Amino acid sequence: MNIHEYQGKAVLRSYGVSVPNGKVAFTVEEAVEAAKELGTEVCVVKAQIHAGGRGKAGGVKVAKNLDEVRTYAESILGTTLVTHQTGPEGKEVKRLLIEEGCDIKKEYYVGLVLDRATSQVVLMASEEGGTEIEEVAEKTPEKIFKEYIDPAVGLQGFQARRIAFNINIPKELVGQAVKFMMGLYRAFIEKDCSIAEINPLVTTGDGKVMALDAKLNFDSNALYRHKDIFRTS
């Protein structure tokens, strides 16, 4: 079971994971009002569909003023986005995420998946963020680092630190990155996730570690425990 990016970020925020401020919009006027409320010089207009590859398909736009927010919202809402994950039929955009812009210094990938062969959760990370992890695995597998997590004790701080150093997070931000990964793991376990991908995880010009995009999939057998999440998905 999938949820939209804005819903996933709300889940992560509740676990102390840093995400940009943003608001969901179902109409053009709501998009403009959301941008006004954010009050940032730059905001991002993001199509909300259950598929990746939105940026390449024209579903993510950077707006520098309210007129651009309106223009992009009008051009995206109600359209059908076709990406490498939607199939040729595409998916209709019925809602947008209006989000504050970030001064991105570097992009990374961080993800949690269940390895069924070992029955363990695996923390994976790479400094090659912003691209499909499958592509990184094929072309430069040495740039993907993994930590297998003992279910009896959970993700340990030293494992998160090792990942942070392996993917070359700046030393002064390692503490933030560790907190980020620990929060992501707690969300993964407590919300019965099957996949939690942050691509990209970014470091910013003002010294933050944030989830710029978030993909959470859930164990369908556990949906009854999380009805609040799926009510509007």
Active site residue 134: no
Mean model confidence pLDDT for the chain: 92
Which of the following is catalytic: 5, 127, 128, 197? 197
Domain boundary among 100, 124, 158: 100
Confidence band for 135, pLDDT divided at 50, 70 and 90: confident
Q: How far apart are CA 185 and CA 33, in angstroms?
A: 34
Q: What pLDDT does 219 receive?
A: 72
Residues 131 and 203 in one domain: yes
Residue 229 lies in a domain: no
Active site residue 15: no
Contacts of 101 (CB under 8 A, 6+ apart): 20, 40, 41, 42, 43, 44, 62
Domain ranges, residue 192:
104-223
Which of the following is catalytic: 72, 109, 128, 185? 109
CATH number of the domain within which 91 lies: 3.30.1490.20
Evaluate if residue 2 carries a pLDDT over 60.
yes
Range 33-57 average pLDDT = 93
Percentage of the residues of the chain whose pLDDT score is greater than 70: 94
State CA 73 to chain mean position distance.
21
Rounded to the nearest 10°, the torsion over CA 193, 197, 203, 208 is: -20
The pLDDT tens digits for 200-222 are 999 999 999 999 999 999 876 65
Evaluate if residue 86 carries a pLDDT over 70.
yes
Residues 110 and 198 in one domain: yes
